[in-house]
């Protein structure tokens, strides 16, 4: 697999990473640990060297990632995150106090079975803790050798600048896809100016861009899509038009909708590294296959026209979730 460098940091990773959240959190019942480990190891066999987890996905998520990569730990980049009170996203309470960041770092090191965290993100910006204090704490952890690189998630441009002034930010992780293009207005220019890499999560629109979701799709109990406005009623019906436009392009190229969506992201900037997640080996292979898909100028223009004519309906999170992004 080809590699990319996340901004000016020199952190080199595979062109496509693996988001591990869905293996045990957010999309219904957790995958059996042995099956999750198979997925992670298969990704490595395909050439993936960038793996993403978080304290908030549950201790088991970090633990199974640590176990899975143990045989080849020095050949991969592990990213994890801090920032939720007690690691619990359901309360919507944040905690990025320096002492909490240090505690999470120690716990993550243990669960990941490693002596360093390659990329340590603040999961959401905590308005109660100055970002300078957050960046300074991670800077100290870097000085101690426990962390290698500092990242932010869903942060606004002003916060990114303030953090970067204290400790250079290696990567921003935020939602970005054909289904969510908010970063294009202000975030991408800021990252390019500062030399910061971009790691889009949900690059397949939480499954919407795979062509496998229709008006009749029902999600499992505990699946976050049951509450997301874009997946409800009239909004879902309207948004299917965009998915259908992508499907037409994919059919002409003889590739899948997911591969077009990932290829489009990779075509935006050379420092963008998407991290699609999956619980199925054949989907993993499909996603990795996107690295071989090249979109022509006319195809990119066709996609741009489809985006312009079919605006996405509905917010990407509920009201409470939207309050936590872009700070």
Q: What percent of the chain has pLDDT over 90?
A: 94
The pLDDT score that the predictor gives to residue 211 is: 87
User: Are 215 and 240 a contacting pair, CB within 8 Å?
Assistant: yes
| Interstrand relation of 117-122 and 147-153 (parallel, antiparallel or unpaired) | parallel
Question: 150, 265, 201: which is closest to 25 by C-alpha?
Answer: 201
Q: Model-level pTM?
A: 0.96
The whole-angstrom separation of Cα 191 and Cα 270 is: 12
- Average pLDDT score over residue span 125-134: 98
Q: Which residue in this structure is represented by tokens 């690691």?
A: 87
Q: What percent of the chain has pLDDT over 70?
A: 100
Question: 9, 194, 210, 258: which is closest to 119 by C-alpha?
Answer: 9
pLDDT in tens, 193-202: 999 999 999 9
Q: Which residues partner with 122 through β-bridges?
A: 82, 152
Q: If you count them, how many residues does the chain have?
A: 327
- Average pLDDT score over residue span 247-268: 97
Domain 3-322 fold = TIM Barrel (3.20.20)
- pLDDT of 156 over the 90 cut: yes
pLDDT confidence band for 279 (50 / 70 / 90): very high
Catalytic residues: 57
DSSP 177-245: BTTB-GGGTTHHHHHHHHT-EEEEESTTGGGGGGT---TT--PPTTBGGGT-GGGSHHHHHHHHHHHHH
User: Are 114 and 68 a contacting pair, CB within 8 Å?
Assistant: no
> Taking all residues of the chain, what is their mean pLDDT, rounded to a whole number?
96
Q: Quick count: other Cβ atoms within 10 Å of Cβ 273?
A: 28
What are the strands, taking DSSP E only, across the chain?
A: 3-6, 11-14, 18-19, 50-52, 77-82, 117-122, 147-153, 169-175, 197-201
Question: 1, 148, 169: which is closest to 77 by C-alpha?
Answer: 148
Domain residue ranges in the chain: 3-322
The pLDDT score that the predictor gives to residue 1 is: 83
Q: Quick count: other Cβ atoms within 10 Å of Cβ 148?
A: 17
């Amino acid at each position: 697999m080809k590699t990319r460098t996340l901004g000016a940091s020199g952190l080199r990773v595979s062109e496509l990473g693996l988001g591990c959240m869905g293996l045990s959190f957010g999309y219904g019942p957790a995958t059996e640990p042995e099956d999750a480990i198979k997925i992670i190891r298969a990704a490595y066999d395909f050439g993936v060297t960038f793996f993403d987890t978080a304290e908030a996905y549950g201790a088991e998520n970090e633990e199974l990632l640590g176990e899975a990569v143990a045989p080849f730990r020095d050949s991969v980049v592990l990213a994890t995150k801090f920032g939720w009170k007690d690691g619990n996203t359901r309360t919507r309470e944040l905690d990025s106090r320096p002492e909490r960041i240090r505690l999470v770092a120690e716990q993550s090191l243990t669960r990941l079975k490693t002596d360093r965290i390659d990329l340590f993100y603040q999961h959401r910006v905590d308005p109660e803790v100055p970002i300078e204090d957050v960046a300074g704490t991670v800077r100290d952890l870097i000085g101690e050798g426990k962390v290698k690189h500092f990242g932010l998630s869903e942060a606004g441009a002003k916060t990114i600048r303030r953090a970067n002034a204290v400790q250079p930010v290696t990567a921003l992780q935020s939602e970005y896809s054909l289904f969510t293009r908010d970063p294009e207005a202000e975030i991408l220019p800021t990252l390019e100016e500062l030399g910061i890499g971009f790691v889009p999560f949900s690059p397949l629109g939480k499954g919407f861009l795979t062509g496998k979701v229709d008006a009749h799709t029902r999600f499992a109990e505990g699946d976050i899509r049951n509450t997301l406005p874009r997946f409800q009623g009239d909004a879902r019906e309207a948004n299917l038009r965009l998915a259908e436009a992508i499907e037409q392009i994919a059919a002409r190229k003889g590739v899948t909708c997911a591969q077009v969506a990932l290829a489009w992201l990779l075509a935006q900037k050379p420092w963008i590294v998407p991290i699609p997640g999956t619980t199925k080996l054949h989907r993993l292979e499909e996603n990795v296959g996107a690295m071989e898909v090249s979109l022509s100028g006319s195809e990119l223009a066709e996609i741009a026209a489809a985006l312009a004519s079919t605006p996405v309906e509905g917010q990407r999170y509920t009201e409470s979730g939207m309050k936590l992004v872009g700070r």
